[in-house]
Each structure stands twice: as structure tokens, then as C-alpha cells.
Amino acid sequence: MALNLEHTPKRWKPSPLLGASALVHAGAAACVLVRPQSWPWMLGAVVANHLLLTGAGLWPRSKLLGPNWTSLPPDAARGSVALTIDDGPDPEVTPRVLDLLDEHGAKATFFCIGERVARYPELAREIIAGGHDIENHTQRHRHNFSLLGPAGMAAEIAQAQDSIQRITGTTPQFFRAPAGLRNPFLDPVLARLELRLASWTRRGFDTVTANADAVYRRLTTPLGDGDILLLHDGNAARGRGGDAVILEVLPRLLETLAQMRLRPVTLRSAL
């Protein structure tokens, strides 16, 4: 299997929090060596540091563990928003989403699950043919992703990268963690695979909320230049009539964007 981890590794620079955490660990170890009776204090410092790191990983929009797109960069933000659509492709929902986007001339970023791309290759190619982008949302969307070590994370991400490349001929440039949850091992893996982490400005919680009005309000209150919005074509909650909520929300959302003269663009177009 071509995991391709050795390919032109980008030099990874730890975030200030990760750098400080390394110092806390080294400092605590040195203190205990010099003054063994200080161990309870040093243990406390290390535990507090771990709580802070865990908190940062459970906060999807945090930038404490490394760079993270929570909105489009300023140069690309004016008059634009990014629709990001996660957990597909889905054979029933994705074709209808593509039709709705087409009707409005909108481009979107699909954070696809590698396994689903492999199961529905034609659908993945249809997304690309429509002028949208497919980005990396792990191979299996494991719910314990944020508990994996560096090797486990690297395998999930590299396998998805491989599936998407092989089937669509395009190389993902962005990564989004399942539910946005991560840990300090993620950032060096992303640097090695030359992927940028993207979260969102606002999310609709449309995997758990079947109420389209509530999802629409969450995404649009407020709404402005450079926002990254998150919806789901896979794992979607079902609204009235059993349809995925995105199918009810998207027409209204696209109308609102048109009225506000905000153009839906892909994340990649903002690079």
C-alpha cells in the first residue's frame, strides 16, 4: 500500500502550546531529578498540561494544537463563503446535493470518507466533474480517531488520501477530523502529508438535528464574508418526509447567499 509518508516532508513547527508542553515535561523531569521531594508538584504540573492539551483537542475551532482554518483567509474572504459537506459520498443524498449546487452555480468542498469514495467511485468522480473539490475526512471516520496515536492517525489519513487520489485523480489538500476532535499527534502527521486542517466558522449540527429551521438559523446567525459553513450529505439526520436535512436547508441557504451577494467557493480556490 502506498502510504507515501516519506514524500517531500514539510518541516513541522510545533505550535506555541506544544512547544511549551515539551518544556513543562522536560522541566518537571529535571526538577524531580534534582529535588526528588518536589515530585507531587511536578506531577501536578504535567497533569494540568495534559488537561489543557486534551481541552484544546476537544475544541474543534482551536488553533492551540496547530494551524486551523476557521474561516477563509482575508485575501479570499471578501464576497465569498465556503460550503463544506461532510461524511459522503452518499448514493441517495449526494446526487441531489450536486443538482441543488448546480442550479445555483455554487461550488462546494466535500470532506469525504475514503471507504465511501471506494464504495461509490462514480459518485466521487461526479463531484469532481461538477467543479467541486473532495478533501480528506479519514478512511473510516472512526469515532475514536482523537484517541489514536501518531501511527494510527497517519494510517487513517494516508489511506484516505490514497483512495481519493486513485479514484478521482485529484489530491486532497485539506483535512478535517471526525467531529473535529483531535490530539497533539495530528499536526505533525498533517505537515508530513502536506495537508491543511480545516474546521468551520459555524456548523448546523445536522447529523443530530432534524429541524431544518434550526439548522438554517445556526448556519446564518450571523453570516458574513469568509465564513466556512458545515453541513452533511452522509450520516444526515432525517427531516420531514424522511429526507436528509441538507436537502431542505440548502435551497434556502443558497437563496440567502445570493441575496447577500456571497459567492460559494471551495476552500482550495482560496489558497
Catalytic center residues: 86, 232
The candidate with the shortest Cα–Cα distance to 223, out of 200, 246, 205, is 200
CB of 195 to Zn ion, least distance (A): 16
Q: What distance lies between CA 70 and its chain's CA centroid?
A: 10
CB of 87 to Zn ion, least distance (A): 4
The one-letter code for the residue type at 2 is A
Length, in residues, of the chain: 271
Instruction: Give the Cβ contact number of residue 77 at 10 Å.
Output: 18
CB of 213 to Zn ion, least distance (A): 23
Nearer to Zn ion, 87 or 227 (CB): 87
* Distance separating alpha carbons of residues 87 and 227, to the nearest angstrom: 20
CB of 235 to Zn ion, least distance (A): 7
**Can you tell me which residue has the cell 480556490?**
269
Binding site for Zn ion (CB under 5 A): 86-87, 178
Nearer to Zn ion, 86 or 248 (CB): 86
Helices (H), the chain: 16-34, 39-57, 74-77, 94-103, 114-119, 121-129, 150-168, 186-192, 212-220, 245-259
- Strand-strand pairing, 109-112 and 80-86: parallel
Nearer to Zn ion, 196 or 262 (CB): 196
**Can you tell me which residue has the cell 494510527?**
152
Nearer to Zn ion, 145 or 216 (CB): 145
